[in-house]
Amino acid sequence: MEIINLSEQNTILNKFVSELRDIHIQKDSMRFRRNIERIGEVMAYEISKRLEYTPLETQTPLGTSVTNVPTDAIVIGTILRAGLAFHHGFINCFDNAENAFVSAYRKYRENHESFHIHIEYIASPKVEGKVLILTDPMLATGGSMDLSYQAILTKGQPKHIHIATIIASQQAIDYCAKNFPQAKTTIWAAAIDPELDSHAYIVPGLGDAGDLAYGEKDS
């Protein structure tokens, strides 16, 4: 399994991540969503380098041009709700992709520290033989990603799985590396943070991405 930490490269992506973390800039929810979307666009571009390509002949007003274009069928699967803006970044690039959505959430026990992860809803096309891109801006424990993947597997076996996240904990990276198919999974992270706090939030992280993007929810 390949694990790619894009923060190890000096690119404009790092600026977008820095703004997402900044407690002053993240007060602007529109900019917060747009930065998530832009990171999705950058990641889609990076993932596109791993697809299969074939030559395509195109007629121009003055002749013909041959260009290599991707041939893989793609399904973008996103965990709601913070993932919505991230998803849009991917379909801005993979505009012919099919789309899957999974509703996964934490249900805390009475101690407000331990929790179960619940899957309530899934809408997905067939994924058999297709490239599946699973997106979630924050990969804290890896549990939601794993359960979402298991739910999507009811629609078939994908050709390859790309896990795409903005900020992951090292614990989640280790969890996904252990629980996803080794030979056909690639993990992409814009940043990998070292730890989780007692509530399983990523440290230093950026806070609750869903609330910052779409407003606080009634607990």
Q: Which domains does the chain have, with CATH numbers?
A: 2-214 (3.40.50.2020)
- Residue in 154, 158, 162 with CA at minimum distance from that of residue 136: 162
Q: What is the mean pLDDT of residues 49-70?
A: 98
Residues 6+ apart with CB under 8 A from 165: 135, 136, 137, 138, 139, 145, 172, 187, 188, 189, 190
Q: What is the pTM of this model?
A: 0.92
Four-residue CA torsion sign, 205, 169, 14, 32:
negative
What per-residue confidence (pLDDT) applies to 120? Answer: 73
Tokens of 149: 């993947």
Choice between 111 and 192, residue whose per-residue pLDDT is larger: 192
Tokens of 58: 């195109």
pLDDT class of 109 with cuts at 50, 70, 90: low
Model pLDDT for residues 16-46, shown as the tens digit of each residue: 999 999 999 999 999 999 999 999 999 999 9
Tokens of 182: 């080794």
Q: Are 166 and 39 in contact (CB under 8 A)?
A: yes
Model pLDDT for residues 42-54, shown as the tens digit of each residue: 999 999 999 999 9
What per-residue confidence (pLDDT) applies to 108? Answer: 53
Distances (CA, A) of 174 to 83, 147, 165, 195: 21, 16, 14, 12
What per-residue confidence (pLDDT) applies to 92? Answer: 98
Residue 100 has pLDDT above 90, yes or no: yes
Residue 117 has pLDDT above 70, yes or no: no
